[in-house]
Amino acid sequence: MTFVGKILVILFMAFSLVFLGVSTVVFTTATNWKQATEAERKKVNDLQTKVGDLSKEFDKAKTDYAAAQAAHKAAAKQQEDKVAALEADIKRAGEEITSSRKALEVAQQNAKLALDEASARKSETDLLREQKSAVEKQANDYKLRQTELNDKIRELSRMLETATNNANDLRDRVAKFSTLLRRNGLSDDITTVKGTESPPTVHGEVARVDALNRSVEITIGSDDGLVPGHELFVYRMSPRPEYLGKIKIVSVDPDQSVARVIGSTVQGKRLKEGDIVSSTIRPTS
């Protein structure tokens, strides 16, 4: 029986006693009060006995209730401690999950970076492999070219040796010819010889004539391309155009030259200042 049930039983007993008292009063006025009183007293005694028993049960129930309440508090405290421990475990697990999630995100980012770097390294490796193949091919081409060049060098070395021998032989011949030319009063200057072979197109005037009409000074020189040995024609334009003869350059300066008359002039005419000298036979005005 619960504690509340016991309290209700006690209340019912109290109401019964009240009702019994009222009934006794009524009964004693209507019946034999002595017999009724004895009977009612017996009932009261029984009821008191029951009330005592119920009080004992009530006290025992109260004691049991206090013990149960204490046990309940202890159990509740124990459950609260368990709940607190579980909440702490849950919080710690949540923190660990959050930390693990962050670590996982970092690991994923690192993995992505590593994959990107690996992809870049692979691309770089492929490029280097292609470059290596190209370099190896170029090296093989260079080796073949080097072999060809070595053969060419050996051929050119033989040609150089032959040319050197020929040059030495020609040098000896040139020295002999130069000696022979100087002995015969001829110039051995190659510039003079080449200039004489290819005279430039020039046009100048007689600046001065010697008393014997054999040498003249003219107004053109080395700046115009003249060298000793050049032969020029002499003209006179006034009073009428006429050919006078030829002269040969014997010495040159940058802007003037000295020449010697070749043979004699036409009809022994004397050259004069202002006469025209030219490398062409037709006079120019």
Q: Is the separation of the CB atoms in 181 and 188 below 8 Å? A: yes
Average pLDDT of the residues in 46-70: 83
Mean pLDDT rounded to a whole number for the chain:
83
d(CA 77, CA 83): 10
Query: For the stretch 190-205, what's the b/e string if a residue is b when 16 or more beta carbons lie within 10 angstroms of its beta carbon?
Result: eebeebbeebeebebe
Provide the percentage of residues in the chain whose pLDDT is more than 70. 86
So what's the pLDDT on residue 274? 93
> How many CB atoms sit inside 10 A of residue 145's CB?
12
pLDDT at 31 over 70: no
Q: In which band, very low, low, confident or very high, does the pLDDT at 222 lie, cut at 50, 70 and 90?
A: very high
The answer to whether the CB of 212 falls within 8 A of the CB of 181 is no
Which CATH number applies to 199-278: 2.40.10.340, 1.20.140.10, 1.10.287.3510, 3.20.20.70?
Answer: 2.40.10.340
Nearest to 217 by CA among 257, 247, 188: 257
Is pLDDT of 21 > 80? Answer: no
Q: What is the pLDDT of residue 219?
A: 96
pLDDT class of 285 with cuts at 50, 70, 90:
very low
- Among left, alpha and beta (phi > 0; psi -120 to 50; other), residue 127 is alpha
Instruction: Please say if the pLDDT value at position 20 is more than 70.
Output: yes
Q: Which of 83-92, 113-122, 165-174, 256-265 has the lowest mean pLDDT?
A: 165-174
Q: Give me the torsion for CA of 84, 87, 93, 98, rounded to 10°.
A: -130
Q: State the DSSP H helix or E strand holding residue 114, giving kind and residue range, or none if neither.
A: helix 33-183
More confident residue, 22 or 193: 22
- In the prediction, which pLDDT does 242 show? 92
Q: 160 or 32: which carries more pLDDT confidence?
A: 160
Q: How far apart are CA 224 and CA 259, in angstroms?
A: 15
> Residue 182's pLDDT is what?
62
Take residue 95 and report the two structure tokens written for it. Answer: 């923190």
Beta strands 203-209 and 276-278: pairing type? antiparallel
Determine how many CB atoms are found less than 10 A away from the CB of residue 232. Answer: 24
Predicted confidence band of residue 284 (pLDDT cuts 50, 70, 90): very low
CB 6 within 8 A of CB 58: yes
pLDDT of 258 over the 70 cut: yes
Least confident of 24-38, 187-201, 227-241: 187-201
Q: Residue 277: left (phi > 0), alpha (psi -120 to 50), or beta? A: beta
The pLDDT tens digits for 156-211 are: 988 888 888 888 887 777 777 667 766 765 555 555 555 555 668 899 999 999 99
At 97-127, the pLDDT tens digits run: 888 888 888 988 898 888 888 888 888 888 8
| Mean pLDDT confidence for 69-80 | 87
The residues facing 233 across adjacent strands are: 246, 278
Question: What gap in Å lies between CA 245 and CA 259, rounded to an integer?
Answer: 12
For position 198, what pLDDT does the model report?
Answer: 61
Instruction: Answer whether residue 137 shows pLDDT above 80.
Output: yes
